């Protein structure tokens, strides 16, 4: 029966079978040692010179070969223990070896943390890079954090609901990824920048408490540590308040840190709530880093930023735009009051909008939504949308709001960023299994790539030749 590397201590003096990769081979002449890696960790295997053919076979082993080894588990001789690894007091004396598959020499070292290896090569051979213990740990902790989040929200009566990835283009801040329709030539779907409108429509649908671990797609220009697709914890609630939403997120992160990162400490609980105005004045940032000691890798300084302005002037487009998104509720009494205040000074209108900052990064953002269709239309209008455009782009939402819309609000938290900070990783690519490079390429699959003329023809698409 197969035993995992980290479990050999439970099988002392027994014949066991190990399966995994050769991490390192150390040839000491008479004795050959193998560090065998599997999903649990590494185990030391020793080949004694007494069995000549087995010893000879072991001397052929190379890094990253996949092998099956049978042998007897035992304690290492005194003084030979390795405190660094889980199975460090034990080893397996091999009696049988089978090479399952061989490996070429890997293009880089897999034992180190890997941070000093060029990222391009790590990305090209990501499947090898993932074998390093640091990456294994990152992905396992990510999985545990996501499970924790799922349990947290389902136990509080939230329903996890999937919303479409093939959707409709709506202006929500960034550029959309478009998907051409084959059946309706010349028409396009869009990949969602977030499930924003769907989750609001779920509130109209009476679900009341929704969450989702959602993939979001934004076609942005290269901006350092961004990804064309990223993962959010997305949630929405009906009959709620800003404070209730903040308390849910606060409780989630406090409990998650306590359960999964017991060595870390949170600078201040309850998380401070700082107005946008104060944050800008005091720290010059709407995501201030409030750690007391920035050299301490185990300090987590969370802070809610509240009372954002509703609108900001976009000089390039010469129009007022929503600071968060157009669905965010401005703090006004009604549509007339809104128009009056907007005519007076749009910059002075505040919104029921909030962010969560962690160690100088924004890790969540959300708002209470406008549920009055008249006010929502007025907001679209002051942002420069013509009535026909409003109908075309948001008609479905305005229509839905005519059928008994509950007041609602929500938040979304960027999980890649949150997990990168918790894992002490410098960028989100370290906690994503198959990320794109900073400039949006998948070097392993070689994407984006050309497609066949037949595919383009089917979609009714013609390439414009580059004349430069």
Annotated binding-site residue numbers:
172, 218-220, 227, 324, 362, 369, 414-417
The residue from 63, 87, 170, 194 that contacts ligand ASP (CB under 6 A) is 194
Q: Per rule CB under 6 A, is residue 367 in the interface with ligand ASP?
A: yes
Q: Per rule CB under 6 A, is residue 412 in the interface with ligand ASP?
A: yes
Q: Per rule CB under 6 A, is residue 288 in the interface with ligand ASP?
A: no
Annotated binding site for L-aspartate: 172, 218, 324, 369
Which region, judged by CB under 6 A, interacts with ligand ASP, from 32-40, 93-101, 365-373, 438-446? Answer: 365-373
Q: Per rule CB under 6 A, is residue 410 in the interface with ligand ASP?
A: yes
Q: Per rule CB under 6 A, is residue 366 in the interface with ligand ASP?
A: yes
Nearest by Cα to 235 from 259, 251, 254, 220: 251
What residues contact 87, with CB distance under 8 A and at least 6 apart? 5, 6, 8, 9, 41, 42, 43, 44
Rounded to a whole number of angstroms, the minimum distance from the CB of residue 369 to ligand ASP is 8
Q: Per rule CB under 6 A, is residue 196 in the interface with ligand ASP?
A: yes
**HEC profile of 352-417:** CEEEEEECCEEEEEEEEECCCHHHHHHHHHHCCCCHHHHHHHHHHHHHHCCCCCCCEEEEEEEHHH
Distance of CA 362 to the CA centre of its chain: 13
The strand pairing partners of 38, in sequence order, are 41
Which region, judged by CB under 6 A, interacts with ligand ASP, from 271-279, 315-323, 364-372, 400-408? Answer: 364-372
Rounded to a whole number of angstroms, the minimum distance from the CB of residue 425 to ligand ASP is 22
Which region, judged by CB under 6 A, interacts with ligand ASP, from 21-29, 134-142, 269-277, 410-418? Answer: 410-418
Which region, judged by CB under 6 A, interacts with ligand ASP, from 80-88, 122-130, 254-262, 361-369? Answer: 361-369
CB 444 within 8 A of CB 124: yes
Q: How far apart are CA 329 and CA 376, in angstroms?
A: 9
Q: How far apart are CA 343 and CA 86, in angstroms?
A: 67
CB 427 within 8 A of CB 225: yes
Q: Per rule CB under 6 A, is residue 63 in the interface with ligand ASP?
A: no
Q: Per rule CB under 6 A, is residue 365 in the interface with ligand ASP?
A: yes
Which region, judged by CB under 6 A, interacts with ligand ASP, from 44-52, 275-283, 399-407, 408-416? Answer: 408-416
The residue from 379, 411, 421, 432 that contacts ligand ASP (CB under 6 A) is 411
Written as one string, the DSSP assignment of 137-188 is HHHHHHHHHHHHHHHHHHTTT-EE----SSB----SSSPPEEEE-SSSTT-E
Number of residues that bind ligand ASP (CB under 6 A): 8
What are 309's two structure tokens? 């302005």
Interface residue list for ligand ASP (CB under 6 A): 194, 196, 365-367, 410-412
């Amino acid at each position: 029966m197969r035993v995992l590397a980290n479990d050999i201590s439970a099988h002392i003096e027994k014949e066991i079978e190990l399966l995994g990769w050769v991490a390192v081979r150390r040839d000491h002449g008479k004795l050959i040692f193998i560090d065998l890696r599997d999903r649990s960790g590494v185990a030391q295997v020793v080949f004694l010179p007494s069995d000549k053919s087995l010893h000879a076979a072991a001397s052929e082993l190379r890094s990253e070969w996949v092998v099956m080894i049978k042998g007897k588990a035992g304690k290492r001789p005194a003084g030979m223990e390795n405190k660094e690894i889980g199975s460090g007091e034990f080893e397996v004396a091999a009696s049988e070896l089978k090479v399952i598959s061989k490996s070429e020499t890997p293009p880089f070292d897999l034992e180190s943390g890997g941070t000093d290896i060029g990222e391009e090569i790590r990305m090209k051979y990501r499947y090898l890079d993932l074998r390093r213990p640091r990456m294994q740990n990152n992905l396992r902790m990510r999985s545990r954090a996501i499970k924790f989040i799922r349990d947290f929200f389902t136990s509080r009566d939230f329903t996890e609901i999937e919303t479409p990835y093939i959707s409709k283009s709506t202006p929500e801040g960034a550029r959309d990824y478009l998907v051409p329709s084959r059946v309706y030539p010349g028409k396009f779907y869009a990949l969602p920048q977030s499930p924003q409108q769907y989750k609001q429509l779920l509130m109209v649908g009476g679900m009341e408490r929704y969450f989702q671990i959602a993939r979001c797609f934004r076609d942005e220009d290269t901006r350092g540590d961004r990804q064309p697709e990223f993962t959010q914890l997305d949630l929405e609630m009906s009959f709620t308040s800003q404070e209730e939403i903040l308390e849910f997120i606060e409780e989630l992160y406090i409990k998650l840190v306590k359960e999964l990162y017991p060595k870390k400490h949170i600078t201040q609980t309850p998380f401070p709530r700082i107005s946008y105005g104060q944050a800008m004045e005091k720290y010059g940032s709407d995501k201030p880093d409030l750690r007391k000691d920035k050299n301490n890798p185990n300090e987590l300084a969370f802070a809610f930023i509240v009372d954002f302005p509703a609108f900001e002037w976009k000089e390039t487009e010469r129009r007022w735009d929503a600071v968060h998104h157009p669905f965010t509720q401005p703090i006004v009494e009604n549509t007339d009051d809104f128009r009056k205040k907007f005519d007076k000074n749009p910059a002075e209108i505040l919104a029921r909008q909030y962010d969560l900052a962690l160690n100088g990064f924004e890790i969540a953002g959300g708002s209470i939504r406008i549920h009055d269709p008249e006010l929502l239309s007025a907001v679209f209008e002051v942002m420069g949308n013509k009535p026909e455009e409003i109908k075309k782009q948001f008609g479905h939402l305005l229509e839905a709001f005519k059928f008994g819309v509950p007041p609602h609000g929500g938040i979304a938290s960027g999980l890649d960023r949150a997990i990168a900070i918790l894992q002490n990783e410098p960028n989100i690519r370290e906690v994503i299994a198959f990320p794109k490079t900073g400039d949006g390429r998948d070097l392993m699959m070689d994407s984006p790539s050309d497609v066949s003329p037949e595919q383009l023809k089917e979609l009714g698409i013609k390439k414009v030749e580059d004349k430069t």
